[in-house]
């Protein structure tokens, strides 16, 4: 996780806590809204509250201590801290549905939040970076026939910033290396993140979830869950920030998707942080770069 020792100045914003953006399995899904007390620029940023695909409302305050949080608020951005269904209970395909819903909810309520529905960006670190890139490459159009007006909205975002994101679970650290094998070797035989990739299918006749064990089907699910699979022309401009000493998510993951972005003609940039592992104290230059990235690319959609 990206660490910054400065705390977001609470005098900069007003906070609306635990706004319900959707429901599933009888449970409410929530996000917190942070709006500048000063001048607003009419743009919104979705923060993916996710580390190892674990998400909890109590973690929002930790994210709010990041330097990027205060800097974006000072620049007039409204921030939306999204809590998704957390592993080990929910898997990446289910988590993705939560993110789609959250972006649609924000876009549907853009007027009440004082933002332009065509100027929504997304940022996250590690698993949050993965989810941000998934939204930038695989956001969906709305369903114009949906009875729920929220579901009629697009879940696409217009710009992405991703810190040290996993991008390819079947080629992780090296060509042909499986994510699980890499992590287990790194963590003495343990993989605390695997539950997010323990895929299940819904048997409608029996109305239960059955674990997918067929190797070919598992590999297909792993491909579907990877941002590199979805890169295509017209994807959201994406800035990736990655330390070249990262062991948990090797910088090979950033390089892999950057080559796909280049081939597809997607505007993307990789900021390599020399000597940095999986997290560091935010530096002024990178904070400025984040602000500039969102300013430049969201304004294109005005």
Per-residue pLDDT of the chain (302 residues; tens, 9 = 90+): 333 333 456 788 999 999 999 999 899 999 999 999 989 999 999 999 999 999 999 999 887 777 678 889 999 999 999 999 999 999 999 999 999 999 999 999 999 999 999 999 999 999 999 999 999 999 999 999 999 999 999 999 999 999 999 999 999 999 999 999 999 999 999 999 999 999 887 777 777 778 888 899 989 999 999 999 999 999 999 999 999 999 999 999 999 999 999 999 999 999 999 999 998 888 888 999 999 999 999 987 77
- What is the pTM assigned to this prediction? 0.93
HEC letters along 75-97 = CCCEEEEEECCCCCCCCHHHHHH
In degrees, to the nearest 5, what angle opens at C-alpha 174 toward C-alphas 169 and 180?
A: 40
15: its two tokens? 């906070």
Q: Which strands form 13-24's sheet, in the order they lie side by side?
A: 13-24, 27-36, 78-83, 44-49, 120-125, 159-163, 238-243, 268-273
Strands 238-243 and 159-163, bridge-based pairing: parallel
Sign of the torsion formed by the C-alpha atoms of 102, 108, 112 and 116? positive
């Amino acid at each position: 996780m990206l660490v910054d020792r400065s705390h977001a100045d609470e005098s900069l914003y007003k906070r609306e806590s635990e706004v319900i953006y959707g429901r599933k399995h009888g449970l409410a899904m929530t996000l917190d809204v942070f709006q500048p007390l000063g001048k607003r620029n009419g743009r919104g940023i979705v923060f993916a509250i996710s580390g190892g695909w674990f998400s909890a409302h109590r973690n929002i305050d930790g994210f709010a201590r990041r330097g990027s949080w205060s800097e974006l608020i000072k620049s007039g951005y409204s921030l939306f801290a999204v809590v998704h269904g957390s592993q080990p209970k929910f898997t990446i395909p289910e988590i993705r549905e939560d993110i789609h819903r959250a972006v649609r909810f924000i876009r549907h309520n853009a007027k009440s939040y004082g933002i332009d529905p065509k100027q929504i960006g997304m940022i996250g670190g590690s698993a949050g970076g993965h989810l941000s890139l998934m939204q930038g490459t695989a956001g969906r159009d709305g369903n114009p026939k949906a009875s729920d007006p929220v579901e009629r909205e697009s879940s696409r975002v217009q710009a992405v910033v991703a810190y040290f994101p996993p991008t390819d679970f079947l080629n992780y650290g090296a060509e042909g290396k499986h994510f699980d094998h890499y992590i287990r070797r790194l963590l003495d035989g343990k993989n605390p993140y695997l539950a997010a990739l323990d895929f299940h299918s819904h048997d409608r006749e029996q109305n239960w979830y059955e674990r997918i064990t067929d190797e070919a089907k598992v590999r297909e699910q792993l491909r579907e869950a990877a941002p590199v699979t979805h890169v295509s022309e017209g994807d959201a401009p994406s800035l990736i920030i990655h330390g070249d000493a990262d062991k948990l998510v090797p910088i090979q993951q950033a390089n892999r998707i950057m080559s796909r972005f280049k081939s597809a003609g997607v505007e993307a940039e990789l900021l390599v942080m020399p000597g940095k592992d999986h997290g560091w104290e935010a530096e002024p230059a990178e904070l400025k770069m984040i602000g500039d990235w969102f300013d430049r690319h969201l304004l294109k959609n005005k």
